[in-house]
Structure 1
Amino acid sequence: MRLETEAELAEAVAGATGPLLLRGGGTRTLGHATGKVLETGGLSGVDLYEPGALTLVVRAGTPLAEVEAVLAGERQRLAFEVPDMRGLLGREGVSTIGGVVATNASGPRRVQVGACRDACLGVRFVDGTGTVIKNGGRVMKNVTGYDLVKLFAGSRGVLGVLTEVSLKVQALPEAEATLVVEGLDDAAGLAALRVALGSPFDVSGAARHTGQSLIRVEGMAGSVAYRSGRLRDRIGGDVTVVEGEASAALWRAVRDVVSLQARPGEVWRIATLPTAAAGIAAGLGGEAVWDWGGGLVWLLLDPGRGAEVAAAVAGRGHATLVKGQGGPVFPPEAPEVQALVAGLKARFDPRGILNRGMMG
């Protein structure tokens, strides 16, 4: 069923007699949820855009490409650099801004500006009873009780159906440059990323991809030239600096995990301590792409190694099976976390009908 208005969506949820499977563009869906499909792509359009205030209010079903085009017209962008998962997951379709927020989709620039949830100012959603709820607004402010804006970013539709999001946006930089560091093994290459991130030179990307360590700076042209030069001196070794579109192409490949696309096996997304990344990847083997200075590892493994991954990551982060059929997408959390999640679900979806199985 394709919904065109928030009122239609609320009525459909309130009258549901069984599980509901929520779908925007279907480009980021993980998990094993089943149920009657509710398509939210009809909830589309920009409700408010104030370039001078760096603020955008948009309905959840609006295509991501449309949002990006509107912002580009004012030389602005979504700061958190949304990954395109279609190539990795073998999907078609059109990504929507609601799906971006519901999955907290965040790319390489997270090391500088934070995740998608950090750009979210407000949300409107329909909870599991069919009630429309609004939280937050067009400016960042302190909150009491549940911070639903942060809570819903990454909740994958299990607490409610997003209908509108308010976002802070960012001006496009005048220039960008990437230091490409060659000739280092993984441990040394990741150490170079940590050196860059620990510097005062405002790095906006730190990744290791296809044997290269990549360090990005953005901003005014003079500042970019100065900072890239100082970083080159600090890191040393075999360093090449690329700029403009050549730099942007490198980061699209990291953002979209291009080197692991269309490859046999399972792909795991592991969020961990940057200092633990090399050891986790070496212990499990496989082929890796590191982002966020090592804090995010995309790991290609043979099927059926979920238990090994969970053991390797235990106490040092968490893992998600992004591509594959080898077991639960999200390995079991600690009992106290499970209890917290169960309490939230009971509060916002007491019948347990929204994306049942999505987080299991």
Structure 2
Amino acid sequence: MTTFTPTTAAETLSTVQWALAEEAPLEVIGHGSKQGIGRPVQAEHTLDLSRLTGVTLYEPAELVLSAKAGTPLAEIEALLAENGQQLAFEPMDYGPLLGEAPGRGSIGGVLAANLAGPRRLKAGAARDHILGIHAVSGRGEAFKSGGRVVKNVTGYDLSKGLAGSWGTLAVLTDVTFKVLPTAETETTLAVRGLYDEQAVAAMALAMGSNAEVSSAAHLPYPAVARVNGGRFGSDATTLLRVEGFAPSVTARLAMLTALLKNAGPLEEIAGEKSRLLWGEVRDCAPFAGNDERPVWRVSMAPSDGHAMVMALRRQTAVDAFYDWQGGLAWLRMESGEPEADLMRALVKKHGGGHATLVRASAADRAALPVFQPQPPALAALSARLKGEFDPKAILNPGRMA
């Protein structure tokens, strides 16, 4: 087994061209923080982009940043923070959930996995903020898409097309993202003691109001006991985040408090404590650590997710919490079995959605469809796309299907 560690785009291109000529599949990784997601890659050689690093352009006044694909996300976020800016879609760090150290993700991996955080409903995901890319296809051809300004796309937007492809279509070498100013302040309103169904109704009421809530999550027991230093105890807690200029945040919190005054006991969590709390929600802290129990990430309509989880609880032991106003459910299977057939049957029964097995043993990941199976027409389209970008299947073969 050979590990290639290119430091330039040209070296990356040369490596892929060699692999194509030899028909030698490559496992493509950045820093390996998400290596345990997806089916085990069927490749003897590794293309390690961890040395392909460095910010190549940063213009705070123009709200644009470019970096080589292997640049650590933590390094980029620190640079942005120094200038009062951020990646508004607040990409998740999968490392802790997979038993790895935090802060190991790369900026290329952010796009390859199409990451998003609790601000997803307001700010979108990585694909909504990507401006341009440089990449190498499985055909051994270097190409670029987009540019370094917002309005630059004509024809096919390959930058967005590669979002969520998990390195199976092309190897990213350079990415350009739109960045935005960090909110001056933020405060989270916590509503205590709601059942899941009540919490979903409260979150829908808040998100539909003029309070401009940027994030809404619900943590039942026991997940709630594993965040914020355990300060919530065993009381289920519903979280609503308000961000912006201080006077605006104060006014909108007053509006939100009046709206939810009869929902349950209310508590405000301000500033850095609020930011840390949402970081724990973003990174799935309740289920993080060296734990082998399978974890599912299920996205559904916010009005359907809690009903699916309740039906699942009737048939197996599961720990759960919700993000995205209830539209994203994180589920840990307490029995140690993924229960994939049961999970996908219940998702289909309750309105449909996407269920991804984000943590499981290598044996389970090899035996089960980790990503949501596609309908036949969409699967055929995906196969055609794979054939165009990587006809000899040398990039992360087997990872997604």
- Residue 66 of structure 1: aligned partner: 75
| Cα distance in 1 for residues equivalent to 2:391 and 2:305 | 38
Code of the residue aligned with 2:352 in structure 1: it is R
- Residue 21 of structure 1: aligned partner: 27
Other structure's SS at 2:67 match: strand
- Residue 212 of structure 2: aligned partner: 202
| Cα distance in 2 for residues equivalent to 1:280 and 1:102 | 29
- Report Cα offsets for 1:187-242 as digits up to 9, x if no partner: 10111111111112221110112221100011100101111111111122311111
Q: How far off its partner does 1:328 sit?
A: 2.3
- Residue 280 of structure 1: aligned partner: 308
Alignment CA distance shift 1:41-1:334 (3 Å): same
| Cα distance in 1 for residues equivalent to 2:26 and 2:308 | 37
| Cα distance in 1 for residues equivalent to 2:142 and 2:329 | 37
User: Residue 11 in 1 paired to residue 14 in 2?
Assistant: yes
- Residue 232 of structure 2: aligned partner: none
Aligned residues of 2:70 and 2:108 also touching (Cα < 8 A): yes
- Residue 329 of structure 2: aligned partner: 297
Code of the residue aligned with 2:281 in structure 1: it is V
Q: Which moved more, 1:53-62 or 1:320-329?
A: 320-329
| Cα distance in 2 for residues equivalent to 1:106 and 1:170 | 15
| Cα distance in 2 for residues equivalent to 1:309 and 1:147 | 34
Q: Which moved more, 1:15-24 or 1:257-266?
A: 257-266
* TM-score, length-scaled by structure 1: 0.97
User: Residue 332 in 1 paired to residue 357 in 2?
Assistant: no
Alignment match of 1:214 (pick from 232, 235, 239): 239
Q: Which moved more, 1:326-335 or 1:150-159?
A: 326-335
Aligned residues of 1:257 and 1:289 also touching (Cα < 8 A): no
Q: Which runs of 5+ in 2 are unaligned?
A: 225-235
Code of the residue aligned with 1:317 in structure 2: it is G
- Residue 48 of structure 2: aligned partner: 39
Aligned residues of 2:146 and 2:152 also touching (Cα < 8 A): no
Q: Which runs of 5+ in 1 are unaligned?
A: none
- Residue 319 of structure 1: aligned partner: 355
Aligned residues of 2:242 and 2:252 also touching (Cα < 8 A): yes
| Cα distance in 1 for residues equivalent to 2:186 and 2:78 | 20
Q: Which moved more, 1:25-34 or 1:346-355?
A: 25-34
Aligned residues of 1:319 and 1:331 also touching (Cα < 8 A): yes
Code of the residue aligned with 2:32 in structure 1: it is G
Q: Which moved more, 1:133-142 or 1:344-353?
A: 133-142
Code of the residue aligned with 1:25 in structure 2: it is H
User: Residue 254 in 1 paired to residue 281 in 2?
Assistant: yes
Q: How far off its partner does 1:146 sit?
A: 2.5
Runs of 4+ more than 4 Å apart: none
| Cα distance in 1 for residues equivalent to 2:265 and 2:338 | 39
Other structure's SS at 1:15 match: helix
Q: How far off its partner does 1:316 sit?
A: 1.5
Map 1:216-255; keep pairs closer than 5 Å: 216-236=241-261, 237-255=264-282
Other structure's SS at 2:387 match: helix
Other structure's SS at 2:214 match: strand
Q: Percent identical across equivalent pairs?
A: 45
* TM-score, length-scaled by structure 2: 0.87
Other structure's SS at 2:198 match: helix
| Cα distance in 1 for residues equivalent to 2:49 and 2:34 | 14
Alignment match of 2:342 (pick from 308, 318, 323): 308
- Report Cα offsets for 1:51-95 as digits up to 9, x if no partner: 011111111111111101111111111111121211111124721
| Cα distance in 2 for residues equivalent to 1:335 and 1:141 | 34
- Residue 135 of structure 2: aligned partner: 125
| Cα distance in 2 for residues equivalent to 1:105 and 1:261 | 17
Count matched residues: 360
| Cα distance in 2 for residues equivalent to 1:8 and 1:186 | 52
Aligned residues of 2:292 and 2:360 also touching (Cα < 8 A): no
| Cα distance in 2 for residues equivalent to 1:143 and 1:96 | 25
